[in-house]
Structure 1
Amino acid sequence: MSEPRWLDATQQRDWRAYVDGSVRLTEIMDRDLKTKHGLSVSEYEILVRLSEAPERQLRMAELAENASQSRSRLSHTCSRLETKGLVKRDSCPNDKRGVFAQLTDDGFAALERAARDHVETVRTFFIDVIDPHDLEAVGRAFGVVLKKVGPTT
């Protein structure tokens, strides 16, 4: 077995800053969304993806990939959103195995309310504290990372 390619001190510092920063940012976004709107970050992300889709609906498999969730986790999250009346699921008329998730009117209204606060949190703790050139570099870097890791399974 070959020796691992250990990180040097600078790489370790940058990696830890990313891990710690992303975990803390997600905690802040989750806390704010739950406190103000009764939504978790993963629930919010599902509502966003559905709001951007044609007719505000996606097949569950496509939604899982777009929202970066496993199909099992997505199913549980959509069940919670259905209970809240924000999403409904229906069978695909031309595919017996397929299921659509659709954003309800109440779900769209909840998303509109939550988005106003959420964007302020994103700006306060991410966009406004990063130099525009660094922000562009972050976008490029994670575009490459997303290509490397591929779709969620």
Structure 2
Amino acid sequence: MAHGLFRPVALYPRDARTDRQHSAGNHHRPARKVPFLQSAIAAGCADSRFHSFTGAAIYLLATLDVHPQFQQELLAALDQLVAHSRTEPGTLQYEVLTDLENENRIIVFEHYADAAALQAHMESAPLQALVARFATYLGAPPSLVRMGRRNGFLREFSLS
């Protein structure tokens, strides 16, 4: 079932080799390039509703469930992606958050000026390099929710 503009895409397509490994008791999935994020993005961008956001700010919420042994490596890679995102003129906000109740869940909150800025970020080399490692780092495809702003505010404050 499709939710929003991003459709679920299998992280590990079933094939005979994977099935044989499972029946032999080998539950480690081989690292291989699986373009699940690109497929989800392409499916969402092809959706006519995507174009209704043209010219309007877009928010993206990505939830990443990371294998515990790769948590620190993924967080370090996301830190580098934050640094790169600061250089993208259409990226207005890019925050990496950790779930206080599940240390292996990382949430990335993104805010873009418009659909073109989101597309430019999705096509950037640093993001594509990280996505290529998702099949190793993540236990499941990322959950992606694209949103438009209805109402709200952001209060800047300082603890000092």
The structure with the largest strand share of the pair is: 2
The structure with the largest helix share of the pair is: 1
Fold conserved between structures, TM > 0.5: no
**Quick check: which has more Rg, 1 or 2?**
1
Normalised TM-score (structure 1): 0.27
Normalised TM-score (structure 2): 0.26
With a CA cutoff of 8 Å and minimum separation of 6, indicate the structure with the bigger relative contact order. 2
